[in-house]
Amino acid sequence: MKKNLLLHVCCGVCASRVIEKLLPSYNITGFFYNPNIEPPDEYQHRLQATEILFNHYHLDLIRGDYETKTWHDAVTGFEHWAEGGRRCWRCFKLRLEETAELSDEKTFPCFATTLTVNPHKDAQFINNWGLYYAKLYNKKYVPINLSADDRYNLTIAKKLDLYRQKYCGCVYSANI
């Protein structure tokens, strides 16, 4: 029997690369929780792309709070680290812990994240923290480890004409 899985989604394009891989084994509910994304227009573009994707698959999507202050508080002191450094570690951890917490609140036995999909992200680091929070909340973390080809696959994104962002998400990655 398929298990219910809460999938943290960073953007529609990354999610488009993993949904079909998870669908045979899991009942997926999406969770768009990305208070790192600024400005608000950019946030809306990425949320809308995620909504288009989840509508396409007839899957539920939970919209997390757009709590930018929480994100800025989480990275205070590390704002100007290079991409991939400690600011990003905190950014990943915030989103993973919120996902673990919500999976607990809504009794999902499993959770996962699309954060590992982007070829510029350290998938091993993210998966290790996913496993850490899973243990903390007594959940199963499902690591998403795509092949190099799958990490660049745009088949569904092009078919649905999903918005493709030009920077990671925060003001520091956008230089705005």
Site residues (vs ligand SF4, CB under 6 A): 36, 83, 87-88, 91, 168-170, 172-173
> Please, what is the minimum distance in Å from the beta carbon of residue 75 to ligand SF4?
6
C-alpha to C-alpha distance for 133 and 93, rounded to whole angstroms = 9
Residue 143 neighbours by CB distance under 10 Å: 15
Q: Which is nearer to ligand SF4, 56 or 93 (CB)?
A: 93
> Please, what is the minimum distance in Å from the beta carbon of residue 43 to ligand SF4?
11
> Please, what is the minimum distance in Å from the beta carbon of residue 171 to ligand SF4?
8
C-alpha to C-alpha distance for 18 and 34, rounded to whole angstroms = 18
Q: Which is nearer to ligand SF4, 94 or 110 (CB)?
A: 94
Q: Which is nearer to ligand SF4, 88 or 102 (CB)?
A: 88
> Please, what is the minimum distance in Å from the beta carbon of residue 128 to ligand SF4?
16
Q: Which is nearer to ligand SF4, 27 or 68 (CB)?
A: 68
Q: Which is nearer to ligand SF4, 29 or 36 (CB)?
A: 36
> Please, what is the minimum distance in Å from the beta carbon of residue 11 to ligand SF4?
11
